[in-house]
Amino acid sequence: MDEYISRSVNLVKNVDKKYNFNLSEINNFIINDLLNGKEREVLTRRFGVFDKKPETLESIGLTFGVTRERIRQIEKHIFNKIGSSNNLKPVFKYLNGIINDNGGIMSTLELEKKLNLENSENKYSLRIILESSHDLTRIESPKITESWFNVRIGQNLILSIIKIAEEILKENNKSLTEKYLTGMILKEINPIYRDTVNVDLISSVFSFSKIIGKTPENELGLTDWGIVNPKNTRDKVYVVFKKIKKPLHYKDLTDLIRKSGFSKKNISVEAVHNELIRDPRFVLVGRGIYALKEWGYNPGTVAEVIEDLLKKEQKPMHKNDIIEKVLERRLVKKNTILLNLQEKPQFKRLKRAVYYLREQ
C-alpha cells in the first residue's frame, strides 16, 4: 500500500493546486515496471518511444512472425493493462477532470498546451495514457480534429451537434453568433441527448470542428466560406475590411493583406485594386480609398450621391444636412460637396443654404 501511494504521488505532482505530469516517471513506470518484455517491445515500437519512428502493426507482426491482427490484440491488452493500473489512477483522474472541465471533449493539441507539452519529446506518453483510459475515447470523424471525449457523452452526440450546426448555417447562408447557433442546436437536438448536452460541450465541439470556423467579427460560419477561410483576392479584401472596420486606401489594404498571413504568395497592389473596382461589395469613397457597400457607402460621383440623397428625402434640404449625409457615404472634403451643389445644374437653391433637386 505504501509503495502504491509513493508511486502515485511521483507520477502526478501537485504544484500550486495544478497537477503537472512527470512524463519521464510515467514512461519509466509503464515500460520498466508494468509491462513484460514482449509487451514492452510492441508498445515502444508502435509509439516510437526512444526517439524512434512509430511502426505499423504489420511491420511489428513480421518481426514476431504473427499477423497484424494479433499485434492489434496485444496492443489492446497493453492498453487495458495500463488503464487498470492503480498507480496510474491519479493520472487518469486528472486527465478526465481537464476534459470534463472543457465540456467533455478536447483536442490532442489543446491537451498538450494545457499540460505544457507542445515542445516535449515525451508526447507519446500522453497518447499512450489517452489510448489506455477506460473513461476517454478518441473521436473518429473527418469533420473534427483529433480529439478525446468522455465515453458518457458518446460520439453520436458530438456528430449530431456538428450536423445540426452545419444545416443551420447552410439554411441561413450567413454567419451567426455562437449564442444564437448554440440556442438553435439545443432546440433541435434529439431529446435522448437532453440530459447530456450543454453549452460548454457545444462550444468545445465548435472549437475542434473542421467544418465550422470564426469570422473576423467572431461569428461562426462554415470553413469553406470565404469570410471564414478566404482563398481568393476578393475574399481576402473583404475579410480585411471586416477586421479593420473602416475605409482604406488600396495600397494600405494590400499591405494589410500581405501581413495577414492568408498565404505565402505575395499579392500585388494591382490585383487588389482590380478586385476593388470589379466587386460590387466595394465602393470608391475617396481618392483611392474604398469601403464596404454594406456600411452604407454609395458608388458614384459626389453629385450622384447628392442627387440620390435628395431623391430619397423628396424635399429641400439645408446644405449642412446634405454635407452630413454625404460624408456618411463618401470621404470627401466639405468644399467638394458645396461646389457640386453650387455648380451642378441638377441642384437648385430654394433659399439661403437650402437646395432641392431640379425636375428632370
Q: 264 pLDDT exceeds 80?
A: no
Q: Span 178-205, mean pLDDT?
A: 95
Where does residue 212 rank: exposed (0-12), middle (13-18), buried (19+ CB within 10 A)? buried
Q: 1 pLDDT exceeds 50?
A: no
State the pLDDT at residue 286.
83
Q: Note whether 269 and 250 are within 8 A (CB).
A: yes
Query: In the CATH hierarchy, which top-level class contains the domain 302-357?
Result: mainly alpha
Q: 14 pLDDT exceeds 50?
A: no
State the pLDDT at residue 352.
86
State the pLDDT at residue 178.
97
- Kindly report the CA angle at 314 between 313 and 317, in degrees rounded to 5? 65
State the pLDDT at residue 13.
56
Q: Span 200-212, mean pLDDT?
A: 96
The total number of residues written for the chain in this structure:
360
Taking only the tens place, the pLDDT of each residue in 241-255 is 999 999 999 999 999
Q: What is the mean pLDDT of the chain?
A: 88
Q: What is the CATH T-level fold of the domain 2-139, as seen in this structure?
A: Arc Repressor Mutant, subunit A (1.10.10)
State the pLDDT at residue 260.
84
State the pLDDT at residue 10.
56
Q: What is the maximum span of the chain, computed from C-alpha positions, in angstroms? A: 103
**Domain segments of the chain: what residues?**
2-139, 155-222, 233-295, 302-357
Strand 248-249's sheet: what is its strand order? 248-249, 289-292, 282-286
Lowest mean pLDDT, pick from 184-188, 217-221, 232-236, 328-332? 328-332
Question: Sorting pLDDT into bands at 50, 70 and 90, what band is 11?
Answer: low
**Spatial separation of the C-alpha atoms in residues 165 and 181, rounded to whole Å:** 7
Lowest mean pLDDT, pick from 74-78, 159-163, 209-213, 332-336? 332-336
Q: Span 140-162, mean pLDDT?
A: 94
Give yes or no on whether 155-222 and 302-357 have one common fold.
yes
What φ, ψ does residue 71 adopt, rounded to 5°?
A: -65, -35
State the pLDDT at residue 19.
47
Taking only the tens place, the pLDDT of each residue in 65-103 is 999 999 999 999 999 999 999 999 999 998 999 999 999
Q: Span 188-210, mean pLDDT?
A: 94
pTM higher than the cut 0.85: no
Q: 342 pLDDT exceeds 70?
A: yes
Q: 23 pLDDT exceeds 70?
A: yes
Residues of the chain above pLDDT 90, percent: 60
Question: Sorting pLDDT into bands at 50, 70 and 90, what band is 140?
Answer: confident
**Spatial separation of the C-alpha atoms in residues 309 and 106, rounded to whole Å:** 54
Taking only the tens place, the pLDDT of each residue in 110-132 is 998 888 887 766 788 889 999 99
Architecture field, domain 155-222 = Orthogonal Bundle (1.10)
